[in-house]
Chains A and B, each alone.
Chain A
Amino acid sequence: MTIDTKILLRIFLIIALISASQAIYCQSNQGENIFSPENRLKFGNYLYKEKDYLRALPELKEYLKTKTDDTTQFRFADCFFRLNRFSEAEYNFRTLFSSPTLADESRLKFFESLFFDNDYAALREYSERNSYSDFKYSNEVNRLKYISFFFDDSILPKENEMLNAFPDSVRPQILNYYLLKKFPPAKSVATAAILSAIIPGAGKIYTGEIGDGITAFAATALSAYLAYSNFHNDHQFRGWLFTGLTAFFYGGNIYGSAASAQIYNVRMKFDFQKSVKLFFEERNYFLPEINF
């Protein structure tokens, strides 16, 4: 063994010794339980602040198994809410209704959960119950209730009743939406079909599909003319062939006009809901930010 090798061996031994001592030092921390409820709460709160709600949930849940804390319970429910797991959020917010500090906030979030869960019937039913309606955020919940009427087919409340729930600045727009919802500019399926039966293509033009209407008229008229012309010139086979083609275009156009009216109505409803949703989303549905 040369001297160089000896030196190298010594250096290696020193490094090995230092590493081993570090490992021993690390082991000495074993006495502290990193999975204690307090540590879980700390980590859960950290994840919540980092908006990692999915991973915050099990940490907060473990903490809540051993201790009761309204703020943590609220955060736990809020994690479900932010993950769009609204039915679980509803259940967990409901457990805080008798909380001395967060009762009003949890009631508001409970109603928000119902709203975003598209459970409008339950939202209206609960908001009209005395035990649920009288609290700090009842105006906000009332507004949510009125907004919900734009998203389903239930009977609209009275115009003034609805408008009074919103600030003056947005009332003209709300009135506009109210009138569009109450008197939608829909096209009648029967009218479209009848119009096409009288004049081929007219039903399509009625539903706004002008190009399709003109094409249907041209196709039906041309095939009808060819049928007539062939019969007139004693070409029976071709006459019947074009008669069949005329019936094909004529029948298809009547059916297509009815379908076109229906598609028009669905599209109109879709666009209306999209516009209303965008309008309220831009204003956060008139909901306050809760700091806790």
Chain B
Amino acid sequence: MKFIFMLFFLSAVSLFAQNEFVKWEAAPASYEINNADRHDYTLDRSGFGMTILSVLRNGYYFFVSDLDGDNCAFSPSCSAFFLQAVKETSIFKGALMFADRFTRDINFFKGLNHYPQLPDRKFYDPSSNYTLHSAKIKFNLP
């Protein structure tokens, strides 16, 4: 009787273990963009100019970035950098900072530069490093 029970329990365990093989079967692929990866569409209401810019940014996110994927090599991405730069300085200075960032972004060999890398391999390059205030320049990762 004892042996029958033992056999029963052992076989039950092995039967249960077989269920684990299910996860190795081919699963249908989904190419939908995960909602968690989508950008933050919140409007910046700190000023009229900032609201207009964040509407433009949202347009870019909706029509280009969210369809194309998160491909910018930098963190924050170029669009986020532009908004940060304008917020931190002015529209004129922010545009110059963005022009410089854009040029650096199209450099094929930007990996050779001294950008610190985040765990997701993106180059950490905050707008505060480019405001021409040396006290704001930081090399440490956030």
Residues of A within 8 A of B (CB): 189, 209, 211-212, 214-216, 219, 248-249, 251-253, 255-256, 258-259, 262-263, 265-267, 270
Chain A residues with CB under 8 Å of B114's CB are: 267
Tell whether, in the assembled complex, residue B134 and residue A266 are in contact, meaning their CB atoms are under 8 Å apart: yes
> By the criterion CB–CB under 8 Å, are B137 and A266 in contact?
yes
Selected interface stretch from B6-14, B59-67, B68-76, B105-113: B105-113
What residues of chain A lie closer than 8 Å to B88, measured between beta carbons?
Answer: none
Rounded to whole angstroms, the CA-CA distance of A14 and B96 in the bound complex is 89
Tell me the smallest distance from the CB of B49 to a CB of chain A, in Å. Answer: 19
Which residues in B have their C-beta under 8 angstroms from that of A249? Answer: 99, 103
> Could you show 5 A-B contacts with beta carbons less than 8 Å apart?
A212-B110, A214-B107, A251-B96, A256-B97, A262-B137
Given A249-B103, A256-B100, A263-B130, 7 more A-B residue pairs with CB atoms under 8 Å apart are A211-B108, A214-B107, A219-B103, A252-B101, A256-B99, A256-B104, A262-B137
CA distance A265 to B112 in the complex (A): 19
Asked if B129 is at the interface (CB within 8 A of a chain A CB), the reply is yes
B41 in the interface (beta carbon within 8 A):
no
In the complex, the number of residue pairs spanning A and B with C-beta atoms less than 8 Å apart equals 72
- B66-98 interface bits toward A, Cβ cutoff 8 Å, 1 = contact, 0 = none: 000000000000000000000000000101111
The answer, yes or no, to whether B1 is at the interface (CB within 8 Å) is: no
Cβ–Cβ < 8 Å partners of B93 in chain A: 255
Against A, the Cβ 8 Å flags (1 = close, 0 = not) of B20-61 are 000000000000000000000000000000000000000000
